[in-house]
Structure 1
Amino acid sequence: MKRLTLSLTMATLLTACALQAPPTRPVMQPQQAAPRTLTIMTHDSFSASEDVIAEFERTNNAKVVILKSGDAGSTLNKAILSKDAPLADVIYGVDNTFLGRALAADIVEPYNSPALADIPDRFKLDPQNRMLPVDYGHVIINYDKAYLQEKGLAPPTSLRELTEPQWKGKLVVQNPATSSPGLAFLLATIAAFPEGSAYDWKQFWRDLRANDVYVSPDWSDAYYAQFSGSSGKGPRPLVVSYATSPAAEVFFSEGKLEEPPTGNLEGTAFEQIEFVGILKGAKNRDLAEKWVDFMLSRRFQEDIPLQMFVYPVAQTAKWPEVFVKFGQPPAQAFSLTPEQIDQGRDQWIETWTQLVLK
């Protein structure tokens, strides 16, 4: 009985001690720093999947802000004008038609991304890696298959053929002073018919004008208002557009089309390469480097085709099926070096304007 009483007494004391014990201090968790903002200056055509952007933000505790700034030329102009107080950390979308100008303006810093190892050398146009290649595409003439079949016309096989009578009033181009594809097509003609040759680019454009070429201010007007293809409502069956336009026609039909209603004319293409660079004075240089690495990674590269309808530069990036079937690059494409373009661009546009629009 005494043992029972003693046990009960000890149990009571232990319970009382437990009730009177000081509360345990909570374990303090380290507080995560607020996300840093990374600003990307781009042309208006930039697009990436939300989950892809979110992955970068989550992995790097960052908030990505996309600063759309007009076309590639306007974006570059804005970056140059703000070089002493940069508006962004990174610039994307400058292509090889403006690369020389971007490098001469000294607005970007070198960065030797490890991801460059997966990119073919032919895309690396800046030996100092101030501007790193991200994607490429081809401006090319698209044709309306049904129109040509109905009229019994075989697709042209060269640029020179566009000046022949059967193609009078059938071609739509864009103004190179206001349109990126318009400028690329002008450059294709300069590469095809060099200055000083027996038949040079200026004579080609005189002949196109005599053959009733139509000049649109931009791609949208040319493709949707002047072109006769399925997406267009105009009277002309030939339009300066992109090599991936046939794939886009099938993709955006959401299953209605099994074959593209448009085709590409070989021998009319100009290759465009788009670049990314870290702006001098970037507030978040380390984060900017991670973004460049991310854009060149397989994750981002495989998102590019169906977002911007251009080709990824990474060799390991897989293409979507619609690109494999209907979006293959042309067998050949015209090109000029960034130095040639930078030296001649303004004068070429001025000369073109006098020849074609005056």
Structure 2
Amino acid sequence: MATPSPRRSPDVRRAALGAATCAALLTLTACSATGGATPDATPGGAGSVTLVTHESFALSEGLLEQFEEDSGLDVQVVQQADSGALVNQLVLTKDAPLGDLVYGIDNAFASRALDEGVVVASELTAPAATDAAAYAVPGDDAGALTAIDFGDVCLNVDTAWFAEQGVPEPTTLDSLLDPAYRDLVVVPDPVTSSPGLAFLLASVGAFGEEGWVDYWAGLRDNGLKVADGWTEAYYTDFTAGGGDGPRPVVVSYASSPPFTVPEGGDAPTTRALLDTCFRQVEYAGVLAGAANPEGAARLLDFLLSDEVQADVPASMYMYPVSSAVELPDDWTRWAPLADAPFDVAPADIATHRERWLTQWSDTVIG
């Protein structure tokens, strides 16, 4: 890879993937200027199955085409924005669904999708369905949502910057409250950014209802910068993002470091702090009222196939749920997962998400 690129988050991957996705899907559906399907890609057409997904969906060239050839189905892809906007659209259109299968609902919004009844259970035959069950949404007894991939949102540090400045690297969330790290941290806004929301949830998991607001007040008072999205935070404000930014601590992904290995080098220049993570899980499900539920179930099995699961790290920079596929060598070496990521129950997220965002805005932005 000529230009290292860390995990592309749902709020920013349009720039990185829009043109590539349209090119890869050119034989499957017409792409609009914003990366979605054009209106004449009619969901549920004869012999077709429509995948509704966030703007970050991507697979290596040839995989979808091979599925079409094997299944006899014409795959149409309708792309929305990030996971939150995707679920909102599914709820608004549940009486006239946008397609047959949805991919990209994450664990921050899974409970809402289930409560609104936008997805239904289906029969799965892929062996990886057994692995996916380990990531089932609590309370989803019918199995309406099936895990496809997962990843850890964590603080990342510029190890080279800290070595050059002679400053010890932070190690935990609490570390960032130390005056030694004043004006060194940038985070994406959780109101507008999926990784930003994940990091907010990490703080809720770490400090609980009684402590997370005070934690963010402490970050604010220690010179925290809030960027609109992950792209601005990583590529503009982060010292190791290529834009000569001034801040050596950023919210990114556990899978980001392998993509900071310099050309000709043998080690990354960044490190993920694995004691600061929140685990995101992305799910797929057959849409209630789908015109082609059988085709949707077949496409869901395809997303759990060895071919797709092996492609997930390179194409979507997430970890596959399947235990049968091997991770790329650089991921095995430089992108370990957190042993104990912070956890917030999906039901609690569904109940309190909007209040938490309001509290965060009142505390940090004012």
TM over 0.5: yes
Contact 1:174 1:216 in 2 (8 A): yes
**Dislocated runs of 4+, deviation >2 Å:** 114-118, 230-233, 255-258
After the TM superposition, which residues 22-61 of structure 1 pair with which residues of structure 2 at under 5 Å, given as runs? Answer: 36-61=47-72
Alignment match, 1:320: 328
Q: Tell me, in whole angstroms, the C-alpha distance in 2 between the residues paired with 1:112 and 1:184.
A: 31
Q: CA deviation at 1:232?
A: 3.8
Q: 1:321 to 1:54 in 2, by over 3 A?
A: same
Q: CA deviation at 1:164?
A: 0.7
Q: CA deviation at 1:86?
A: 0.9
Contact 2:185 2:224 in 1 (8 A): yes
Q: CA deviation at 1:117?
A: 4.4
* Mapped pair 1:289 → 2:300: no
Residue 212 of structure 1 aligns to which amino acid in structure 2? G
Alignment match, 2:309: 301
Q: Secondary structure at the match of 1:302?
A: helix
Q: 1:230 to 1:331 in 2, by over 3 A?
A: same
Q: Tell me, in whole angstroms, the C-alpha distance in 2 between the residues paired with 1:64 and 1:322.
A: 32
Alignment match, 1:72: 83
* Mapped pair 1:159 → 2:170: no
Q: Secondary structure at the match of 1:183?
A: helix
Q: Tell me, in whole angstroms, the C-alpha distance in 2 between the residues paired with 1:161 and 1:219.
A: 22
* Mapped pair 1:124 → 2:136: yes
After the TM superposition, which residues 165-204 of structure 1 pair with which residues of structure 2 at under 5 Å, given as runs? Answer: 165-196=179-210, 200-204=211-215
Q: Tell me, in whole angstroms, the C-alpha distance in 1 between the residues paired with 2:71 and 2:132.
A: 28
Contact 1:41 1:66 in 2 (8 A): yes
After the TM superposition, which residues 64-103 of structure 1 pair with which residues of structure 2 at under 5 Å, given as runs? Answer: 64-103=75-114
Equivalent residue pairs, number: 319
How does the TM-score come out when normalised to structure 1? 0.86
Structure 1 unaligned residues grouped into runs of 5+: 1-33
How does the TM-score come out when normalised to structure 2? 0.84
Contact 1:131 1:277 in 2 (8 A): yes
After the TM superposition, which residues 338-357 of structure 1 pair with which residues of structure 2 at under 5 Å, given as runs? Answer: 338-357=346-365
Q: Tell me, in whole angstroms, the C-alpha distance in 1 between the residues paired with 2:352 and 2:265.
A: 42
Alignment match, 2:164: 150
Residue 339 of structure 1 aligns to which amino acid in structure 2? A
Q: 1:140 aligns with which of 148, 154, 157?
A: 154
Q: 2:252 aligns with which of 225, 236, 241?
A: 241
Structure 2 unaligned residues grouped into runs of 5+: 1-44
Structure showing greater radius of gyration is 1
Contact 1:72 1:93 in 2 (8 A): yes
Residue 170 of structure 1 aligns to which amino acid in structure 2? L
